[in-house]
Structure 1
Amino acid sequence: MNFASLPDRRADLDPHGPAVSDATGSLTNAQFLNRVRTATRHLHYRGIGPRDFVALKLTNRTEFVVLLFATWRLGATITPVNPALTDVEIVRQLADSAARLLVVEDGTTLMGGVATLAVGDLHDAPVAADPAPPSDTSAPALLIYTSGTTGVPKGVVLDHTNVVAMAEMGAHALQLGPADRCLLILPLFHVNGIVVSVLTPLLAGASVVIAGRFDPRTFFGLVESERPTFFSAVPTIYSILAALPDDVRPDTSSLRFGICGAAPASAELLTRFEDRYGFPLLEGYGLSEGTCASTLNPVSGPRRTGTVGIAFPGQEIRIVDANGTEMGPGVDGEVVVRGPNVMRGYLGRPEDTARTVVDGWLHTGDVGHLDPEGYLTLVGRSKDMIIRGGENIYPKEIEDVLAGDPSVLEAAVIGVPDTIWGEVVVAYVQPTPGSTVDPAALHALCARKLSRYKRPTTIVVVDAIAKNAVGKIDKAALRAAHTTAPATS
């Protein structure tokens, strides 16, 4: 199956049933199909065709979902752009993907070098029909950019086989059906928001309510008014909700479960949240390279706090040592994943692809172990990746920015614990001989070059950065020395 035909199927089966809604209104399945057809005609008019890339730099809104399907009906590919990225980062993504069109919010400053469409100018006049949706399942569907250990973001190519397989696995594992209703609160520039909170429920015949930016003051009001049956969020969101005043006692009776992923959650948080709000949290694990999810604690069956659950149906999980030898239960090693959800590769990076996907197995770089029943426990992260509020941050990208200042000889970036964000970014810098480092100037440099969530909360100037016996920066020693997190900003 190619996802481009899903709006047609839904409209045939239940034309008056709910499809997608946001703060501006709701669309039935028939209305959604009409909007998709109209947008398809508009994109075709703008010259979009097979194998082109369309970039969406949009907030959460119905038009994002409409444009997903419209782009796919033309055989083209969507690459979502985080609206919080700097101009430098956006230009880099657009250039790497060779995007033919960038769709932006109304009033956005236009980007040079690529055709731009303001979302408010998207045609809405109905069209009678459009060409039959393509059936090619090998066509790229999504190009998701994720930071790599080199510090340069890499484009993860997910084709329709990947996306459909993941959505089918998710619908089965979550036991979704037409009566379900998903509340989308995660950003649509993430594969989680697109696949788990939109494509999976739509494939299952369920409907989607698109919320704007998460706000703890209004979240439960949305739950009470929209009556969703599930939603997906990161541990930071659950921590914020769990810390609301005791007099906040919402009606959560519509919710069957919440999904918790993108970063580790403590067993204490999961238990405290469930005891207070009365519905279970299902912790899972996955990567963009695996089309979002590979394990999940079951909806029906034992949920084991401290683990990220069992493999999705159709996926295999192994634990291997450095030589690729499979390890037994309880023995730590690298987590590797195999299944139809594993990416087709990194765009234009065959060597990186070959190192990451070996004989069909996705090497995650994460360290963990399986118990005899197949529940996965993660014990560490490869390299030194930082997870701030569910956002993956690789230190080298920040270190390269800092080292670009002439006064900085060397930089080392670590994550330190934070009660709200899970981790925050702290940078250690060593001055070049004879120079004086100005932390304020470095903060300003980071503000120009990096998205807000990547910027260090604190820059510590030291005479020398700690090294290990072989002369490499000793980040374990830096983290051990930095025992308390600074105030977040």
Structure 2
Amino acid sequence: MNLVSSVHETAQTKPQKIAYRFMGKDTTYAAFDLSVSLFASALKDLGVNEGDKVAFLLGNTPHYLISLYATMRIGATAVPINPLYTPDEISFILENSDAKVVIAIDQLLPLVEVASQTFPMIENFIVCEMGPDAGEKLATLADHIKTKVHAFTTLMKQAKPLSEIVTVDENESAVILYTSGTTGYPKGAMLSHKNIYSNARDVGDYLGFSENDRIVATLPLFHVFALTVVANAPLLKGATILLEPRFSPGDIFTLIREQKATVFAGVPTMYNFLYQYPEGKTEDFETIRLSISGGSSLPVSLLHDFEEKFQVRVSEGYGLSEASPVTCFNPLDRERVPGSIGTNIMNVENKIVNEMGEEVPVNEVGELIVRGPNVMIGYYKQPEETAAAIRDGWLYTGDLARRDENGYFYIVDRKKDMIIVGGFNVYPREVEEVLFSHRDIVEAAVVGIPDTNFGEEVHAYVVLKEGSKATEQTVHDFCAKRLAKYKVPKHIEFLKELPKNATGKILRRSLKNQIRS
């Protein structure tokens, strides 16, 4: 069994069950499966074969789900790309991944024109028309470039359903996900059919997903968190996905109320915006049985504030692209530990080790390593990077963590983000937790910058609530009462907002570059 076969089976047994809702329109599993078979046929007609790479520059629309499952149906490999990336970032991934076809939203037509001249190996571009004048612009573009450009809707109308589902070895790559590239160029994590199916299955089982669930999908689908938690796992369980093109607190509250959503998944930034939204009320979340947080650490103070305001339990987990992604989650059937990423999910093992790869004692900080059927095949065309990341079957995550006596894991920080002040380790998250507990602080990020005397010093960026009269000195004094002297930020800089990627994760590298400039 794989994801495509599972959706096809649901379409056969429960054809009228709603697979997803988008812009006020419901689509049944039968209709979704038909669209997948039509687009799979269209891709084959364009010469896409088993093992070929198909790049997506798509947002949270049905085009993404149809493209993903159609690509996997014919045994090709999907390469999701953040459509908000710069042309240079997109160009690198297209070239590195050996993409043969690109499927893009119509807003990227200028990029399609450039790419058609830059990447001759891309044989076809498929444009998903969303805007009212997209068809006209598409026709004009197609007239003067050599690469073939096709309209998504036209291909669907011309195709005949492809009844067969290509039998692919479970260890063949289904998806290549490029890491965010916090250091150097991004690496393409190859996830096999076994990887993504097993993680969707295990996450769905662990979180108790069922056909009665209605999952809010506002996390960007090109990101691994959304790929598994709000797309593949729900579809595997026959649930309904509520596709939301963009995140807006007001729209999310309306969607939950009107559609009686049962599951909300977001990153800490989303929870912060929802909490700060002045019109948000307790009853807005009354149908939600499960709130999931991932992507980065959720400040404990925000967790408590959100739960108190909306009377809902927020469960935090952990994952990374290379593990498809989920490895840990707070159990739903017993105590939830604030600040913890939870315990092993089914079929996945986590361990904390020292520099020698030896497991460390309880509550001692070390590197988190993972093994299970969800761990990637490796990095695309990077055997040395793969060998460094996967050793003796264990994936080395690069995250510093500890495990308590009850088997709960806690992320301390990214190994590369740790600040060393005069030989003492400072974990940015610890300082950020203190900053978040300040009543006037909405957002905070801590980075290390070079210091002549101590090697590094702690530098904090803070976003204040509107109308706050807090100063650098008052925030410094607040930290000094709660942190050892070497952990207290030497500099506190106030910003209107913090730089973030498409999933809401704060971009520490951008902040460091800002200091250098």
Bin of the TM-score, shorter chain as denominator length: 0.7 to 0.9
Evaluate the alpha carbon distance shift between residue 478 and residue 253 of structure 1 in structure 2; reply closer, same or farther with a 3 A threshold: closer
| Number of the residue aligned with 1:483 | 492
Aligned to 2:51: 51
CA positional deviation for 1:136: 2.2
Give CA deviations for 1:4-32 in whole Å, capped at 9, x if unaligned. 22231111110111112211622111111
CA contact (8 A) 2:253 2:280 kept: no
Q: Of 458, 462, 466, which aligns to 2:451?
A: 466
Pick from 153, 156, 164 the counterpart of residue 124 of structure 1.
Answer: 156
Alignment match, 2:201: 168
Distance 1:51 1:24 in 2: 36
CA–CA distance in structure 2, aligned partners of residues 7 and 128 of structure 1:
16
Query: Is 1:13 matched with 2:46?
Result: no
Change (3 A) 1:179 1:385: farther
Per the alignment, do residues 360 and 26 of structure 1 end up closer, same or farther by CA in structure 2, a change over 3 Å counting? Answer: same
Question: Is the contact between residue 236 and residue 420 of structure 1 (CA under 8 Å) also seen in structure 2?
Answer: no
Aligned residue type for 1:131? E
> What is the one-letter code of the residue matched to 1:34?
L
Contact 1:2 1:134 in 2 (8 A): no
Gaps of 5+ in 1: 387-415, 429-464
Distance 1:60 1:422, change over 3 A: farther
In 2, Cα distance between equivalents of 1:322 and 1:468? 27
CA contact (8 A) 2:37 2:70 kept: yes
Deviation, 1:225, is 1.2
Equivalent pair of 2:172/2:193 in contact (CA under 8 Å): yes
Asked if residue 139 in structure 1 is aligned to residue 172 in structure 2, the reply is yes
- Within a 5 Å distance, the mapping from 1:312-351 to structure 2 comes to 312-351=345-384
Report the residue type matching 2:96 in the other structure: D
Long gaps (5+) in structure 2: 130-150, 420-433, 461-488, 499-517
Say which of 304, 325, 328 aligns to 1:271.
304
Give the deviation of 1:481 after TM superposition. 3.1
SS at match of 1:94: helix
Question: How far apart in 2 are the matches of 1:365 and 1:72?
Answer: 30
Does the alignment pair 1:26 with 2:58?
no
The whole-number CA distance in structure 1 between the counterparts of 2:435 and 2:186 is 25
| SS at 1:117 equivalent | strand
Deviation at 1:84, TM superposition (A): 0.9
Q: Aligned partners of 1:91 and 1:417: how far apart in 2?
A: 39
For the pair 1:91 / 2:123, whether they are aligned, the reply is no
Deviation, 1:377, is 1.2
Q: Structure 1 residues 218 and 150 mapped into 2: Cα distance closer, same or farther (>3 Å)? A: closer
Taking a change above 3 Å as real, the CA distance of residues 330 and 305 of structure 1, as seen in their structure-2 partners, is same
The structure-2 alpha-carbon separation of the partners of 1:324 and 1:299, relative to structure 1 and needing over 3 Å to count, comes to: same
Determine the C-alpha separation between the residues in 2 that align with 1:177 and 1:91.
Answer: 40
Change (3 A) 1:325 1:31: same
CA distance in 2, matches of 1:385, 1:91: 31
The 1:7/1:246 distance shift into structure 2, 3 A limit, reads: closer
Secondary structure of 2:493's aligned partner: coil
Secondary structure of the corresponding residue to residue 27 of structure 2: strand
Distance 1:145 1:166 in 2: 18
Distance 2:446 2:220 in 1: 20
2:252 is matched by which residue type in structure 1? F
**1:203 maps onto 2:239 in alignment:** no
Question: What secondary structure, in the 3-state scheme, does the structure 1 residue paired with 2:235 have?
Answer: helix
State the shift of 1:424 in Å: 8.2
Structure 1 length as normaliser, TM-score?
0.81
Could you tell me which residue of structure 1 aligns to residue 261 of structure 2?
A: 228
> Under a length normalisation based on structure 2, what TM-score does the superposition of the two structures give?
0.77
Shift of 1:280: 1.0
Quote the offset at 1:44 in angstroms: 0.9
In 2, Cα distance between equivalents of 1:247 and 1:44: 48
The letter for the 2-side match of 1:137 is E
In the superposition, relative to structure 1, how do residues 189 and 129 fare at CA in structure 2: closer, same or farther (>3 Å)? Answer: closer
Looking at structure 2, the residues matched to 284 and 366 of structure 1 have their Cα atoms a distance apart, in angstroms, of 14
Match of 2:415 among 377, 382, 393: 382
Superposed, 1:217-296 pairs within 5 Å as 217-245=250-278, 248-296=281-329
- Aligned partner letter, 2:403: L
Indicate the larger mover: 99-108 or 235-244: 99-108
99 and 421 in structure 1: CA distance in 2 versus 1, 3 angstrom threshold: farther
Give SS of 1:218's match. helix
Corresponding residue to 1:353 among 386, 399, 402 = 386
Q: Judging changes above 3 Å, is the alpha-carbon distance between structure 1 residues 488 and 246 closer, same or farther for their aligned structure 2 residues?
A: closer
For 1:26, the aligned partner's letter is: D
Q: Per the alignment, in what secondary structure is the counterpart of residue 355 of structure 1?
A: helix
Pick closer, same or farther for the CA change 1:301–1:486 going to 2, 3 Å: same
Give the 5 Å matches for 1:290-309: 290-309=323-342
Could you tell me how far apart the structure 2 residues matched to 1:279 and 1:135 are? 42
**1:40-67 CA distance string (max 9 Å, x none):** 1111111111111111101110110011
The answer to whether the Cα contact below 8 Å between 2:60 and 2:245 also exists between their aligned partners in 1 is: yes
Map of 2:102 onto structure 1: 102
For 2:445, the equivalent position in structure 1 comes to 423
Aligned residues of 2:200 and 2:233 also touching (Cα < 8 A): yes
Stretch moving more, 149-158 or 107-116: 107-116
Q: Aligned letter for 2:322?
A: E
Give 2:134's aligned residue. Answer: none
Query: Given the superposition, is the C-alpha separation of residues 210 and 246 from structure 1 closer, same or farther in structure 2, using an over 3 Å criterion?
Result: closer
Judged with a 3 Å threshold, the aligned counterparts in structure 2 of structure 1 residues 139 and 4 are, in CA distance, closer, same or farther, namely: farther
Post-superposition CA distance 1:95-146 (Å, at most 9, x none): 0001001111125221232331101322333735432342421221111111
Match of 1:413 in 2: none
CA contact (8 A) 2:225 2:319 kept: no
- After superposition, the Cα gap between the structure-2 partners of 1:357 and 1:149, relative to the gap in structure 1 and judged at 3 Å, is farther
* Residue 183 in structure 1 maps to residue 168 in structure 2: no
* Contact 1:466–1:478 (Cα < 8 Å) also in 2: no
Structure 2: distance between partners of 1:136 and 1:421: 46
Q: 1:425 to 1:333 in 2, by over 3 A?
A: closer
Q: Aligned-pair RMSD on alpha carbons?
A: 2.4
Q: Cα distance 1:477–1:222, how it changes in 2: closer, same or farther (>3 A)?
A: closer
Name the SS for the 2:26 alignment partner: strand
Distance across 1 between alignment mates of 2:163 and 2:408: 47
Q: As a proportion of its length, which structure holds more helix?
A: 2
Percent identity between matched residues is 33
Say if 2:196 and 2:324, in contact at 8 Å, map to a contact too.
yes
